[in-house]
């Protein structure tokens, strides 16, 4: 499969008497001259991928046109000239986005065409944040609009070197002006820590990507959410969490007692905060509808008498939490226990998989 755009490159395929081809019993012209048997044309761009080939239909290798003949050179030149006149349109086109400005958690709609393209696993994507996890978008039956939710949070990773922070997926020295910079603490010497932070306001480019296809991009301005009495600025770890893990939260507006943490539909009640800006709790068993099918992916928030906070995404380690053999009790709650490999002489049934959650 090769993409065809107005910028083309010609790849010509000729008989080649290399050792590899000779070993494969390839047949060559009797006169020993190199012969042409096909060409294809390649380019780059947002267009869908096409296969455009030229070939000579014969079983007689001696009938193939010889390399360098005026007739062959003229034919190939004419084909390139013809293809450069094509006005190919991408199969996925975004014509506009509504609204142009929105806050995290809001719904925006992409308008255009080709959003219903089958078998390409199309997803909206922030160009500068390609690894950002987003809830599945809703595509209209006619494929001309796509509704998506602006994430309320994103994940950053702890850095190995002191004085470095994760910015845009890269560990870089802490800028002199630390305004808006959040550092993800490293809590394990062997593994990095994944931290959830609020989605940053700014101007972003959104596109739709899929397997071997990509749309144009449009501009979306993400505004800061309205001020709230209770807010989360950092939650960690927020990825690969196991029931019983200690989850730490930083923010503001927490009360000394009576804070309620909600993860999906799981609730941890009466979580204390000695300073009003931090709290800790043990992760409960996952419960509720996952935001992403087939995963344990939820939103975590804190509520108390002052109000409810923003939400930070939190995902659990993939396991069958409905099977009591995968859990062990310890003070404070249930914890995940990896399955031990059965002895060679023991017949064991396959482990069940967690049911897909919606």
Percent pLDDT > 70 in the chain is: 77
Residue-level pLDDT at 306: 95
Residue-level pLDDT at 275: 96
Q: Pick the most confident of 131-145, 177-191, 309-323.
A: 131-145
Please name the fold of domain 91-225: Immunoglobulin-like (2.60.40)
Q: Do domains 91-225 and 227-358 have the same CATH topology?
A: yes
Residue-level pLDDT at 294: 82
pLDDT greater than 70 at residue 256: yes
Residue-level pLDDT at 138: 95
CATH top class, domain 227-358: mainly beta
Residue-level pLDDT at 356: 37
Residue-level pLDDT at 137: 94
Residue-level pLDDT at 52: 66
pLDDT greater than 60 at residue 293: yes
Higher pLDDT, 349 or 248: 248
- Cα gap 355→321, rounded to integer Å: 10
pLDDT greater than 70 at residue 46: no
Residue-level pLDDT at 352: 33
Residue-level pLDDT at 247: 96
Residue-level pLDDT at 58: 78
For residue 343, what are the CA distances in angstroms to 45, 310, 346, 347? 55, 48, 5, 8
Higher pLDDT, 267 or 353: 267
Average pLDDT, the chain: 80
pLDDT greater than 70 at residue 8: no
Domain ranges of the chain: 2-83, 91-225, 227-358
């Amino acid at each position: 499969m090769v993409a065809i755009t107005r910028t083309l490159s010609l790849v010509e395929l000729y008989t080649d008497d290399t050792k590899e081809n000779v070993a494969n019993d390839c047949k060559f012209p009797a006169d020993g001259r190199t012969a042409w048997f096909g060409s294809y044309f390649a380019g780059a761009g947002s267009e869908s991928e096409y296969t455009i080939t030229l070939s000579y239909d014969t079983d007689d290798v001696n009938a193939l046109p010889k390399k360098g003949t005026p007739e062959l050179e003229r034919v190939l030149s004419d084909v390139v000239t013809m293809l450069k006149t094509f006005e190919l349109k991408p199969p996925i086109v975004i014509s506009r986005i509504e609204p142009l400005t929105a806050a995290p958690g809001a719904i925006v709609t992409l308008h255009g065409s080709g959003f219903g393209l089958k078998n390409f696993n199309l997803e909206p994507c922030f160009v500068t944040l390609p690894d950002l996890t987003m809830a599945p978008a809703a595509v209209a039956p006619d494929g001309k609009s796509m509704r998506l939710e602006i994430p309320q949070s994103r994940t950053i990773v702890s850095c190995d070197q002191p004085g470095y922070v994760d910015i845009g997926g890269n560990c870089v020295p802490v800028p002199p002006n630390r305004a808006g910079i959040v550092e993800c603490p490293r809590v394990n010497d062997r593994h990095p820590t994944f931290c959830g932070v609020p989605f940053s306001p700014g101007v972003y480019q959104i596109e739709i990507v899929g397997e071997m296809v990509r749309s144009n991009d449009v501009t979306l301005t993400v505004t800061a959410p309205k001020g709230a009495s209770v807010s989360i600025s950092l939650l960690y770890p927020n990825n690969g969490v196991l029931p019983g893990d200690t989850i730490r939260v930083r923010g503001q507006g927490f009360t000394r007692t009576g804070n309620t943490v909600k993860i999906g539909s799981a609730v941890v009640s009466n979580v204390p905060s000695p300073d009003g800006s931090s709290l800790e709790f043990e992760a409960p068993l996952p419960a509720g509808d996952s935001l992403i099918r087939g995963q344990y992916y939820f939103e975590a928030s804190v509520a108390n008498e002052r109000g409810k906070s923003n939400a930070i995404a939190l995902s659990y380690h993939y396991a069958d939490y409905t099977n009591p053999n995968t859990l062990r009790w310890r003070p404070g709650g249930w914890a995940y226990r990896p399955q031990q490999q059965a002895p060679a002489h023991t017949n064991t049934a396959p482990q069940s998989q967690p049911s897909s959650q919606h």
